[in-house]
Amino acid sequence: AQKVTQAQTEISVVEKEDVTLDCVYETRDTTYYLFWYKQPPSGELVFLIRRNSFDEQNEISGRYSWNFQKSTSSFNFTITASQVVDSAVYFCALSDSNYQLIWGAGTKLIIKP
Amino acid sequence: KAGVTQTPRYLIKTRGQQVTLSCSPISGHRSVSWYQQTPGQGLQFLFEYFSETQRNKGNFPGRFSGRQFSNSRSEMNVSTLELGDSALYLCASSLVGGGGEQFFGPGTRLTVL
């Protein structure tokens, strides 16, 4: 069965600290896509990154970076030098062979000033 | 380019009533997906429409239905509302659907009394 696990329900850090959000997935498909979305208090889901199963290169975008490891079925997300505006719920998702998005439960990130 | 719009933003209904939610995708996008978000169940896939055809369906009862028009706008209907249908309903548009990036609207907050 396809499954996405975000074990961290809530993380609280002080501004400027680095923080890593964990995502572990399960799938039998050899071709799949992984995503991260951000949901600020306004409620609208904001796309952050998409990664296909054949591309294990890590990616960096400004203060955000992603570490994809097929060997451990993980797709972790790191925010460097966190800011208060990073406070949100972050979701990891898996697109299965039917192209349905299967979502993790989300990690609520609180950045304290 | 205008983003995904959803109307109405808020709805209050009573048990047994029916409701129709509307979603206008980003211009040029042919895929529209619907999701239900609740505190207990998280984000769950409802269905996806592509070029007026339902391409995928999640595990929801037949009370939940949808359609897509020739201009890619989509509607979602819930009949015989139950208290458990209270949720944030999110619509996402994508150029081709599948494993592509999905862009979300602000959602419709449905409250069933």
- Which tokens hold the place of B84? 């458990």
Contact with chain A for residue B107, Cβ under 8 A: yes
Give B58's Cβ-side CA count (13 Å radius): 20
- Predicted confidence at residue A100, as pLDDT, reads 80
Q: How far is A105 from chain B (nearest CA, A)?
A: 6
For residue B62, give every residue at least 6 positions away whose Cβ sits within 8 Å of its Cβ, in sequence order, or none.
Answer: none
Please, which pLDDT band fits residue A4 given cuts at 50, 70 and 90?
Answer: very high
Please return the burial class of B21, using the count of CB atoms within 10 Å of its CB with bins 0-12, 13-18 and 19+: buried
For residue A23, give every residue at least 6 positions away whose Cβ sits within 8 Å of its Cβ, in sequence order, or none.
Answer: A4, A5, A6, A34, A36, A74, A75, A76, A77, A92, A104
Please, which pLDDT band fits residue A101 given cuts at 50, 70 and 90?
Answer: confident
What is the enclosing helix (H) or strand (E) of B65? strand B64-68
Nearest CA in chain B to A52: B99
For residue B21, give every residue at least 6 positions away whose Cβ sits within 8 Å of its Cβ, in sequence order, or none.
Answer: B6, B7, B8, B11, B75, B76, B77, B78, B89, B91, B108, B110
For residue B96, give every residue at least 6 positions away whose Cβ sits within 8 Å of its Cβ, in sequence order, or none.
Answer: B30, B31, B50
Provide, as residue numbers in chain A, all residues whose Cβ is less than 8 Å from the Cβ of B42.
Answer: 103-106
Q: Which of B84, B41, B90, B42 is nearest to B63 (CA)?
A: B84
- Which tokens hold the place of B15? 């048990």
- Predicted confidence at residue B1, as pLDDT, reads 63
User: φ and ψ at A84, to 5 degrees?
Assistant: -55, -35
User: Are the Cβ atoms of A99 and B106 closer than 8 angstroms?
Assistant: no
Instruction: Give CA–CA dist B5/B94, Å, rounded.
Output: 13
What is the enclosing helix (H) or strand (E) of B64? strand B64-68
**Averaged pLDDT, B65-90:** 96
- Predicted confidence at residue B98, as pLDDT, reads 67
Please, which pLDDT band fits residue B101 given cuts at 50, 70 and 90?
Answer: confident
Nearest CA in chain B to A49: B101
Q: Identify the residue among B23, B43, B44 best suited for mutation to test binding to A, counting A beta carbons within 10 A and taking the highest.
A: B43
User: Are the Cβ atoms of A52 and B99 closer than 8 angstroms?
Assistant: yes
Q: Which of residues 26-45 of B touch A (CB under 8 A)?
A: 33, 35, 42-45
**Averaged pLDDT, B22-46:** 94
Q: How far is A46 from chain B (nearest CA, A)?
A: 7
Using one digit for the tens of pLDDT, what is the confidence trace for B10-22?
999 999 999 999 9
